[in-house]
Copies of this chain bind each other. A is one copy, B any other.
Amino acid sequence: MELTIYLAGQIHDDWRDTVVQKAKEKDLPLTFTGPQTDHDLSDNIGENILGEQPGNYYKDDAASAINNLRTQVLMQKSDVVIALFGEKYKQWNTAMDASTAVALGKPLILIRPEELIHPLKELSNKANVTVATVDQAMEILEYIYK
């Protein structure tokens, strides 16, 4: 049984490559999707396509519209959502994607470093499972096939 996993969360390191690599090692029939990981492209996609906007507020809104469409398409195709929070940045779009997954009935695995236990406690309580590392999330995916 093939499953599609949406990898929500920060795009400031290569954790998604680790996920893909580990899935290959475990020989799991998984397809991974996720947000645009080229940070500059993600921020500029609005102006790239729609042309120059009248200020940063409008540039951000144009980029977000296209990024949100992309996420909506890919999340609707997914069977499981993994949302990883890092130690830096506000990461409100990660919280948004994770909450949307729960509201749509998509099973959610939250990856959360220890420092964020308190501020993420409500979202963690809504997730199916909360773990601390990418490895633990992969063990859960592997368990589906055991």
Instruction: Write out the residue numbers on chain B whose beta carbons fall within 8 Å of the beta carbon of A90.
Output: 90, 116, 119-120
Instruction: Write out the residue numbers on chain B whose beta carbons fall within 8 Å of the beta carbon of A33.
Output: 1
Q: Are A129 and B79 in contact (CB under 8 A)?
A: no
Contact flags (1/0) for A63-82 with B, using CB distance below 8 Å? Answer: 11111111111101101100
Segment at the B interface, from A11-19, A20-28, A91-99: A91-99
Q: How many copies does the complex hold?
A: 8
Number of A interface residues in the complex (CB < 8 A):
72
Known: A60-B118, A69-B107. 12 other contacts (CB 8 A): A49-B136, A50-B131, A50-B136, A58-B58, A69-B129, A69-B140, A70-B144, A91-B92, A92-B95, A95-B95, A97-B99, A103-B103
A96 and B126 contact, Cβ closer than 8 Å, known pairs A66-B140, A120-B90: yes
Q: Are B73 and A144 in contact (CB under 8 A)?
A: yes
- A123 and B100 alpha carbons, distance in the complex (Å): 11
